[in-house]
Amino acid sequence: MSTLLTRISESAVIQLAITLVTYAFYACLLGLSLSPSMWLLARAWETGSWILISLAAGGAIYLYFITGILVMGSVIRLISWGIKPGIYADASPTMLRWLIYSGVYTIVHATILPMVRMTWFANLFFRIIGCKMGRRVFVNSWTLNDPFLIELGDDVTIGGGAELSCHLYEKGRLILDRIKIGDGTLIGANCYISPGATIGKNCVIGLGSVLRRGKTVADGSHYTSLAGLPVRDMAKLEKGQKHGKHTLP
């Protein structure tokens, strides 16, 4: 199988054919998700009333949020089923499945999640595709990459613009690893959490922090970083900058 995929990856013609077929699949999936909305619009159009048509248009958008989450979420769950943490070659069945899953996820990421973040709809989508979420989880971000490898405890808060990513692509290899966040932890706005990060209970990850691959944060920690380097005392850092010192404490 790997040999066959390697040959395919080296053929531009075959790659083009696969791309066309894959995007046709995405188009059909999007159309299926839109079908109830289109039915509603068609019924409203038959009335000839612009008020009803306008109301139906708004209802169609709302309906797409629901059907898109259910249909594409279920498809993502099927495609990603059984994908585990590990290192996978560029030309491997897991890499191919991950690429197809990513395409479907991108549709939801672009058309639905920005509109429903911080709502029950977003949490439902993440749960459908395999994210392990505790109770009272508050997600103010739509960038949870590879949610089927993410585990969020009870009362976790993910700040706006934060990104949790369970994958890296290095030297022709796909690297997948889990992210675990304990109960009561706050992930500040615009943070970046790398694959393999484990954050304990009741932690605070400060605004814009970067947790590098495999980083472990102990229970109750208040972690802040600058350019990916840990900073324990921001007051000392600011004092050092005023005196022309740029070393981290």
Residue closest to 195 by CA, chosen among 221, 214, 220 = 214
- The arithmetic mean of pLDDT across residues 149-178, rounded, is 93
Domain containing residue 184: 132-249
Q: Are residues 153 and 117 in the same domain?
A: no
Backbone dihedral angles phi then psi of residue 77, each to the nearest 5 degrees: -60, -40
Looking at the fold, whether 162 and 238 belong to one and the same domain comes out as yes
Q: Kindly report, residue by residue over 167-223, the tens digit of the pLDDT.
A: 999 888 999 999 999 999 999 999 999 999 999 999 999 888 888 899 899 999 888
4 and 121, same domain (yes or no): yes
Residue 9 and residue 26 in one domain: yes
| End position of a domain, from candidates 103, 130, 157 | 130
Query: What's the structural domain count of the chain?
Result: 2
pLDDT of 18 reads 83
pLDDT beyond 90 at 234: no
Does residue 117 share a domain with residue 187? no
Residue 178 shares a structural domain with residue 226: yes
78 and 31 in one domain?
A: yes
DSSP per residue over 26-71, as a string? HHHHHHHHHHHHHHHHHHHHHHT-HHHHHHHHHHHHHHHHHHHHHH
pTM of the model: 0.82
